[in-house]
């Protein structure tokens, strides 16, 4: 740097004080970047009630983490275009966040002069002391961004929107954010008190915003055990009226235990709306699985053959999508008649293990362990795979299922008189749990969007 200019370390200290995605500790798993970017693209396209400036800033942050600096800067340029300067102080907060993101991206690219320029622009927008009018809008931007990362951040997002509402209690956008954050918190923790509060807030939002189908499908799920008729009515309306593939996916998952035929119809509808949304294909594979489990042998063979044909075509048509879970379920279907091909798919995924998210690594070990246990009748190999899954310190339904299977294997060892082998498994489980972060609940097949109760996942992963 030129004389008089701050050093790289001094500049970084200044950037650390900025309000933006790079300083908000977004808790992003680097292995899930493509998955998150694909989900975020749907959020930006289909959720008009959310703050586009915040979501585009998050997109820029994720692109930069993925070493896509050009795309990151393009996202920030789009954020500037979406920032409506007529609406102060919200637009000032949007500019503040955008300048902070620009500063960080240029800094990470080694363009220190540009980074300092954007840092100075941010400082001019918000000199010390802080303008209290900006705080609620900054908190809302942060809250929407946290929600886009999904359920694990529901608690932090609630804090953001509660802070915003303390300063602007009548702001409908902030109330919408709080309702979404409450649902997200419940979706992660399943705590009854949060469920009740989320239901109250979502009912208010649905009454005020009749075209907010995200709120409606969330409310439908919360009402499943409270008001079945209303719950079904909301899910039907979402499937009929919404063009948001995320809403349609959630609607299909709602229908899954009630009617796999209706769930399949909704998924096919969603595929027409957005064929590039990878979570639709996970839901489709799940639907085929549930239909197969419920069918008699003759009908089940037809469903399995159709599933293999459809899922194979999807994998061929979308090589750029994150379809690990689809491939695992495809392998399970294929393995009914061709076990060697099933294991070949697992081997191919294993060779790419370093590119898979932690959840997908767990799922691979769960499915492969089941293969050894049920197809190969090889308990030792199955135990090794289940242990490999359980060692990954993220509490998911896949991890829970591997723990369940390990306990069952321990029982067989005990029954066969091998107490040492049984004790080894129990000691392993206790030691692995010491490294597990204290989280209130597990995450499901859809990467925490729609956790599947433990025994349902057990049925789903069998076959």
pLDDT tens track for 426-443: 999 999 999 887 554 334
**Shared-domain flag, residues 36 and 183:** yes
- Of 110, 134, 136, give the one whose Cα is nearest residue 122: 134
In-domain check, residue 90: yes
- pLDDT-derived band at 385 (thresholds 50, 70, 90) equals very high
**Shared-domain flag, residues 38 and 103:** yes
pLDDT tens track for 21-57: 999 999 887 778 888 999 999 999 887 655 899 999 9
- pLDDT of 429 reads 97
CA distance to 305, 352, 379, 392, 436, per residue, from 398 (Å): 26, 19, 18, 11, 14
Average pLDDT over residues 197-207: 96
In-domain check, residue 391: no
Classify the C-alpha dihedral 89-134-18-61 as positive or negative: negative
**Shared-domain flag, residues 103 and 151:** yes
Pair 288, 311: CB distance under 8 Å: yes
- pLDDT-derived band at 151 (thresholds 50, 70, 90) equals low
- pLDDT of 187 reads 86
Residue 160 in this model has a pLDDT that exceeds 90: yes
Average pLDDT over residues 100-121: 96
Average pLDDT over residues 215-241: 96
Mean pLDDT across the chain: 90
Tokens of 20: 């933006």
**Shared-domain flag, residues 107 and 192:** yes
**Shared-domain flag, residues 60 and 146:** yes
Query: Please, which residues bridge with residue 396 across strands?
Result: 443
- pLDDT of 40 reads 93
Tell me the DSSP string of 248-263: HHHHHHHHTTT-HHHH
- Of 350, 436, 434, 447, give the one whose Cα is nearest residue 398: 447
**Shared-domain flag, residues 178 and 262:** no
In-domain check, residue 78: yes
Classify the C-alpha dihedral 408-376-453-233 as positive or negative: negative
**Shared-domain flag, residues 146 and 105:** yes
Tell me the DSSP string of 260-322: HHHHHHHHHHHHHH-TT-HHHHHHHHHHHHHHHHHS-HHHHHHHHHHHHHHHHHHHHH-TTS-
Token look-up 């650390």 returns 16
Residue 145 in this model has a pLDDT that exceeds 50: yes
- pLDDT of 76 reads 97
For residues 48 and 268, give the distance between their C-alpha atoms in angstroms, rounded to a whole number.
24
In-domain check, residue 261: yes
In-domain check, residue 104: yes
Pair 315, 270: CB distance under 8 Å: no
- pLDDT-derived band at 209 (thresholds 50, 70, 90) equals very high
For residues 335 and 163, give the distance between their C-alpha atoms in angstroms, rounded to a whole number.
53
**The last residue of a domain, from among 272, 292, 323:** 272
- Of 32, 39, 100, 97, give the one whose Cα is nearest residue 66: 32
Cis before 415 (ω within 30): no
**Shared-domain flag, residues 184 and 42:** yes
- pLDDT-derived band at 144 (thresholds 50, 70, 90) equals very high
Q: The whole model's pTM is what?
A: 0.88
In-domain check, residue 107: yes
- pLDDT of 127 reads 72
Domain limits for position 175: 8-15+32-115+133-203
Residue 80 in this model has a pLDDT that exceeds 80: yes
3-state DSSP of 429-446: HHHHHHCCCCCCCCECCC
- pLDDT of 415 reads 95
Instruction: Name the residue with higher pLDDT: 456 or 326.
Output: 326
In-domain check, residue 177: yes
3-state secondary structure at position 462? coil
Residue 461 in this model has a pLDDT that exceeds 90: no
**Shared-domain flag, residues 190 and 257:** no
- pLDDT of 129 reads 63
Q: How many domains does the chain have?
A: 2
pLDDT tens track for 352-367: 999 898 899 999 999 9
Residue 237 in this model has a pLDDT that exceeds 50: yes
- pLDDT of 4 reads 59
In-domain check, residue 400: no
pLDDT tens track for 248-304: 999 999 999 999 999 999 999 999 888 999 999 999 999 999 999 999 999 999 999
- pLDDT of 190 reads 82
For residues 133 and 327, give the distance between their C-alpha atoms in angstroms, rounded to a whole number.
50
* Helix residue ranges, H only, 109-150: 112-125, 135-149
Cis before 91 (ω within 30): no
**Shared-domain flag, residues 47 and 157:** yes
Token look-up 């197809």 returns 375
For residues 11 and 113, give the distance between their C-alpha atoms in angstroms, rounded to a whole number.
10
**Shared-domain flag, residues 195 and 61:** yes
**Shared-domain flag, residues 107 and 218:** no
- pLDDT of 49 reads 52
Pair 76, 56: CB distance under 8 Å: yes
Residue 6 in this model has a pLDDT that exceeds 90: no
For residues 266 and 325, give the distance between their C-alpha atoms in angstroms, rounded to a whole number.
20
193: domain CATH number is: 1.25.40.10
**The last residue of a domain, from among 164, 179, 203:** 203
**The last residue of a domain, from among 203, 222, 241:** 203
């Amino acid at each position: 740097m030129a004389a008089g200019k701050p050093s790289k370390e001094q500049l970084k200290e200044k950037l650390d004080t900025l309000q933006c995605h790079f300083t908000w500790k977004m808790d992003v798993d680097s292995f899930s970047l493509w998955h998150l970017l694909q989900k975020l693209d749907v959020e930006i396209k289909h959720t008009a009630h959310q703050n586009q400036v915040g979501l585009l800033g998050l997109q820029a942050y994720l692109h930069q983490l993925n070493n896509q600096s050009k795309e990151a800067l393009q996202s920030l340029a789009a954020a500037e275009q979406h920032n409506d300067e007529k609406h102060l102080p919200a637009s000032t907060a949007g500019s503040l966040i955008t300048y902070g993101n620009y500063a960080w991206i240029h800094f990470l690219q080694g363009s220190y002069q540009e980074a300092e320029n954007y840092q100075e622009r941010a400082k001019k927008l918000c000199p010390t002391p802080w303008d209290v009018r900006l705080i609620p809008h900054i908190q809302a931007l942060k809250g929407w961004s946290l929600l886009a990362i999904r359920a694990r951040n529901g608690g932090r997002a609630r804090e953001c929107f509660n802070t915003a509402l303390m300063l602007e209690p009548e702001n409908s956008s902030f109330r919408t954010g709080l309702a979404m954050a409450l649902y997200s918190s419940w979706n992660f923790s399943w705590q009854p008190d949060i469920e009740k509060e989320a239901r109250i807030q979502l009912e208010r939002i649905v009454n005020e915003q009749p075209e907010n189908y995200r709120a409606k499908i969330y409310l439908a799920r919360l009402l499943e055990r409270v008001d079945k008729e209303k719950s079904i009515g909301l899910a039907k309306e979402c499937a009929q009226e919404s063009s948001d593939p995320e809403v349609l996916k959630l609607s299909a998952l709602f229908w899954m235990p009630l009617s796999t035929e209706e769930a399949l119809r909704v998924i096919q509808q969603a595929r027409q709306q957005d064929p590039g949304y990878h979570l639709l294909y996970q839901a489709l594979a799940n639907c085929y699985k549930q239909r197969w489990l419920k069918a008699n042998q003759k009908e089940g063979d037809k469903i399995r053959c159709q599933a293999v044909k459809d899922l194979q075509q999807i994998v061929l048509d979308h090589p750029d999508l994150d379809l690990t879970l689809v491939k695992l379920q495809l392998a399970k279907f294929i393995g009914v008649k061709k076990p060697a091909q099933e294991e070949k798919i697992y081997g191919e995924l294993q060779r790419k293990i370093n590119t898979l998210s932690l959840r997908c690594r767990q799922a691979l070990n769960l499915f492969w362990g089941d293969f050894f246990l049920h197809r190969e009748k090889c308990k030792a190999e199955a135990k090794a795979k289940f242990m490999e899954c359980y060692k990954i310190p993220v509490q998911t339904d896949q991890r829970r299922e591997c723990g369940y299977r390990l306990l069952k294997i321990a029982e067989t060892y005990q029954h066969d008189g091998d107490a040492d082998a049984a004790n080894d498994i129990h000691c392993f489980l206790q030691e692995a749990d010491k490294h597990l972060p204290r989280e209130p609940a597990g995450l499901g097949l859809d990467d925490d969007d729609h956790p599947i109760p433990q025994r349902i996942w057990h049925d789903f992963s069998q076959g």
